[in-house]
A = this chain, B = another copy of it.
Amino acid sequence: MARNVDKSSVPAVTVPRLALYLRKLRELKAQGTARISSQHLAELIDLNPAQIRKDFSYFGEFGTRGVGYEVQRLEEEIAKCLGLWRSWSVIILGAGKLGRALVQYRGFAEYQFNVVGVFDNSEHVIGANYGAGRVRSVAELEEFCAQQPVDIAMITVPAAVAEETIDKAVAAGVRAVLNFAPVKVHVPADVVIRQVDLSSELMFLSFYLDRERE
């Protein structure tokens, strides 16, 4: 059983790996695989088996010595570790092309992340429906969050207004932010923020593409 864990003692790099394990375990379950060893799982996702066992060990003892892990059980435990024992409600701030693409992204619902609202400042899109109800004005944000709990805000507004938009979300009670705008924003310590920076990803590639020039 998953023991109680002080999450600050879990290396931050472990968390995305847990997501990786979870996805692969669901795949294995769908294929009807009942048991798996860290060795075998490691081969499937190209990692060191000790890494996998260590990652699990932050949360409890999920396996059986001499045997391995039961896929079903392990999948459930890891989902729990990631906070997926419940669903989370998500809003999208910015109904531009990216925001609209994310509203309908199927990968979110698979893990019980539900997009419950979309907000924008532009008259051109307010009122339109791209998949999670009509687009609301950002001015309605506070009231909306008061009426129903919102856990996560995805920020897809232009960089110039990202900071103020995030501030509004935090003021409205949102405690987690996924920021697609290419600006680093300061938030209170009890708010989790994560940056997704697409041009920076391309620069990562151009850095290594350009290596032979030296």
Task: Give chain A interface residues in 152-206, CB to chain B under 8 Å.
Answer: 152, 175-178, 182, 184, 186, 192, 194, 196-206
Q: Can you report 16 A-B residue pairs in the complex whose CB atoms are below 8 A from each other?
A: A4-B214, A19-B204, A20-B184, A45-B184, A46-B184, A83-B203, A85-B210, A98-B101, A100-B101, A113-B202, A113-B206, A152-B202, A176-B206, A176-B209, A178-B205, A194-B205
Question: Closest CB-CB distance, A162 to chain B, in whole Å?
Answer: 12
Contact indicator per residue, chain A 2-37, by CB within 8 Å of chain B (1) or not (0): 001111100000011011101100000000000000
Contact between B209 and A192, CB atoms less than 8 A apart? yes
Contact between B107 and A97, CB atoms less than 8 A apart? no
Known: A6-B214, A97-B104. A198 touches B200 (CB 8 A): no
Contacts of A206 in B (CB 8 A): 82-84, 88, 113, 151-152, 176
Smallest CB gap from A7: residue in B = B211
A144 at the interface (CB under 8 A from B): no
Given contacts A15-B203, A81-B207, A177-B205, 18 further A-B contacts (CB under 8 A): A7-B214, A16-B203, A19-B200, A19-B204, A82-B203, A82-B206, A82-B207, A85-B210, A88-B209, A97-B101, A97-B104, A98-B102, A100-B101, A107-B182, A107-B198, A108-B198, A110-B199, A196-B196
